[in-house]
Structure 1
């Protein structure tokens, strides 16, 4: 229950960042970087009486209906919560904080800040095995019926929306929107990677038993011990290998420093860890 609540708290933070990036930075300059939100910005040009937040809700309802018909119920409640959550937040922002003009006159600043903020939010949502809906559903339909890769399907959908933005708002907006699509993908990947980075720690120490006990009992993580022989001394050694978060690694380093200043330590960054104590294998 606690784990589930933690997941939804993170999803709520993520979708809030997506909504902030969209409403305060991308929407005022009509920058459409794909997804249901980008399509809503384009449609708003032709139907200005409908707010973008309301259009996002309508588009998501339509896409989920199409998804249920063609690919079944494989969305998950977390994706439904995140996609409609973004739409509702944008609708609330429109009511509470009406934007009479952009925060900055420079369209590039608006684009970069909007994409970075919203892409970090998407990365947080994706990292909880959910998504913000939109073009993900179109990509799944393309994958199922035409065998197009999911990543390529998302790109096709988003590029189609940026072309529509260029048609609606002019070539300059279309090109900036295209830049936003490309930047969005890079920032999402970087955000997910940074959230999943762990430290693989290899330790050679005369106090391996004490260190192993600390890792298991105090840090709540596992470790593996290997028998080895020193190439220089020829003496038998124990090599301890463990994988920790950055915070836990600092605690372990402090312990080793206090008990064995001659310990030999190798540290690697690992970008994905699946198994007990880390990411569940079914979510990989």
Structure 2
């Protein structure tokens, strides 16, 4: 516990509290009145709230308890403790600080799904930035991935959230609940990614070429970027060649392809989309810590 306290800084606590407030506002003001359950333990809690009128925050915490016990035994103690703290803070703020005072929006459900997804996404991103989660499907996803190592966390979460969306059709009595829930889930995911990974997404090109110097020179001159050159040898041809690694902004990628083609039409190019690029010419490391 002492090590855990050392790692929880004032900045993290501030982010957790602010994130919990924003997350609670999005849930209470938009998700609850529109009967939208966009996955997760909170999605199940929203459906139970619709049937029983019990507080959403308390329901979310109760639903997380068995999952936290499983996380304690099958994942890690630290993960279980930090997730329990975040889940408790979010639940208390939702029921005691936000629900009694925050007005709700009873208008168009499309607006509820969009604004609810965006606001909840902002709150969750701030919570994730502290190195923890709000529990729910995150725990289930990690448990599924541990049981089936070949399954990615993203796919595991998608499966669990899809099941919750399907159930919401029967609970709320209309298929629009799942459709609007899907929109909210998509908006929430995009916002989380954009905040956590930043706006410096780019494309990384791995170019196998026999003319690396000409390509590198044009990249430096025309794109104001640099590249890394690595010596290589073809496994089939047994001939010496070079591998050029270069990362550019997405807006520069079309120009990069033209440079490679003009210099070496026989080059072999592999492209990887990067969610964030840090370092010289992009976002500084210090701005992300």
Tell me the residue number matched to 1:73: 77
The residue number in structure 2 matching 1:39 is: 44
CA distance in 2, matches of 1:144, 1:153: 10
Q: Tell me if structure 2 keeps the 8 A contact 1:78–1:130.
A: yes
| SS of residue paired to 1:105 | coil
2:163 corresponds in structure 1 to 160
Contact 1:82/1:130, CA 8 A, preserved across alignment: yes
1:11 aligns with 16
- Structure 1 residues 74 and 146: CA distance shift in structure 2, 3 A: farther
Aligned-partner SS, 2:198 = helix
Structural mapping, 1:192-207, within 5 Å:
192-194=196-198
Query: CA 1:106–1:143 in structure 2 vs 1: closer, same or farther (change >3 Å)?
Result: same
Residue 61 of structure 2, aligned match among 42, 52, 57: 57
Structure 2 alignment gaps of length 5 or more: 1-5, 202-216, 218-279
Residues 60, 84 of structure 1: 8 Å contact kept: no
Give RMSD over aligned pairs. Answer: 2.8
1:268 aligns with 2:253: no
> 2:77 aligns to what SS in structure 1?
coil
CA distance in 2, matches of 1:165, 1:3: 36
Instruction: Tell me: CA distance 1:139–1:89, structure 2 relative to 1, closer, same or farther (3 Å).
Output: same
The farther-off stretch of 170-179 and 76-85 is 76-85
Match of 1:109 in 2: 111
Secondary structure of the 2:49 match is helix
Give the alignment's TM-score, normalised by structure 1.
0.65
Distance 2:130 2:163 in 1: 28
- Find out whether 1:86 has 2:94 as its counterpart: no
CA contact (8 A) 1:63 1:137 kept: yes
CA deviation string 1:34-78 (max 9, x = no partner) = 111111012223333x22222111111121122223334241543
Q: Identify unmatched segments of 5+ residues in structure 1.
A: 199-230, 232-266
Aligned to 1:149: 152
CA distance in 1 between counterparts of 2:190 and 2:99 reads: 32
Residues 123 and 191 in structure 1, CA contact (< 8 A), matched pair in contact too: yes
Cα–Cα, structure 1 residues 161 and 114, in superposed 2: closer, same or farther, change >3 Å?
A: same
Instruction: Say how many residue pairs are matched.
Output: 206
CA drift at 1:93: 4.5
Q: Kindly tell me: are residues 144 and 2 of structure 1, through their superposed partners in 2, closer, same or farther at Cα, counting changes over 3 Å?
A: closer
Which residue in the other structure is 1:206 paired with?
A: none
Q: Which runs of 4+ in 1 moved over 6 A?
A: none
Residues of 1 paired with 2:42 and 2:119: CA distance? 15
